[in-house]
Amino acid sequence: MKKILKDIYRNKVWLIMVLPGTIWLLLFAYLPMFGQVLAFKDFRIHPDGFFASVITSEWVGWDNFKYLFSTNDALIITRNTILYNLVFIVLGLVAAVGTAIILSELVNKRLSKVYQTGMLFPHFISWVIGSYFVFTFLSADSGLLNSVLGWFNIDPVSWYNEPKYWPYILVFMSLWKGVGYGSIVYLASIVGIDRAYYEAAMIDGASKWKQIKHITLPMLKPLMIILTIMNVGRIFNSDFGLFYQVPRDSGTLYAVTNVIDTFVFRGLMTLGDIGMSTAAGLYQSVVGLALVLITNYIVRKVDEESALF
């Protein structure tokens, strides 16, 4: 005990620095875990408060999970959630790495910083604002795209009633918002690569493409694997704002825009079923954890040094 107190006193400055983050993590990440018990209860509000509501609510076992997957939309929302996230992971990785490499190769570093700022800006825009940007282009009456189509004597398109276009629109918007932020991590890693590798490659006559292929990409490989493993863990979680705000909750688009998060939200708003919503969140978390463990196990078997743990 005395040794522990000495270590705490010796590292008091560092412990004080991480204290706010630790408190935030306990309050918003670990403390809410006790609420997962609601996934197995028929939650009913009790006049004595939340804790009394939790205690007095009836146990229903797996009924909330059965309801979640017994609906006609269960297959659609699961398919949409997985396929969209797979596309986001693959294209997001390629676009972020490619953007970071291009920025690192710009000779004019001041111009490079301007580009970085411009690409990072969408990350800080909420999807509510982003949805209005999209509406400016896709409005059936006064949208920019329909105006352009009119110049070529092409009939206007009712974009918010045409499901076939929206997988491409949603993927584009996801990349628009996330590539700038995602490229920062890779750009920082590229900057940290020893320039002696590139100088030796240039002496050997390696072209810029060969330098990228044999130096930059191999150096980025561990970081790419770690971030991909973490993204795989969120494959059952969707960006709610992207799938709810951008399509403007158009019912005709549910076949291609409805995912687990939006389905649960609409169920909660319509039925007020807190137990079912909690069950969906627990299901996403458990599956995500399992996917992280499985993916990390596979990576560790192939290349132990590149594994997350």
pLDDT digits (tens, 9 = 90+) for 77-110: 888 999 999 999 999 999 999 999 998 888 777 8
pLDDT digits (tens, 9 = 90+) for 3-43: 888 888 888 888 899 999 999 999 988 888 888 888 898 88
Residue 219 has a pLDDT of: 92
pLDDT digits (tens, 9 = 90+) for 184-223: 889 989 988 888 988 898 888 888 889 999 999 999 998 9
Short-list 86, 257, 74, 248, CA closest to 163 = 257
Higher-scoring residue by pLDDT: 68, 203: 203
pLDDT band, very low/low/confident/very high, at 247 (cuts 50, 70, 90) = very high
* Cα-based distances in Å from 21 to 12, 17, 18, 35: 15, 8, 5, 22
CB 53 within 8 A of CB 46: yes
| Predicted structure pTM score | 0.85
Mean pLDDT, the chain, integer: 87
* Residue tagged 């709810």 (tokens): 244
pLDDT digits (tens, 9 = 90+) for 165-181: 999 999 999 999 999 88
Q: What are the tokens at 267?
A: 């169920």
Q: What angle do CA 238, 241, 244 make, to 5 degrees?
A: 90
Measured in residues, the chain has a length of: 309
Using the 8-state DSSP alphabet, how is residue 142 labeled? T
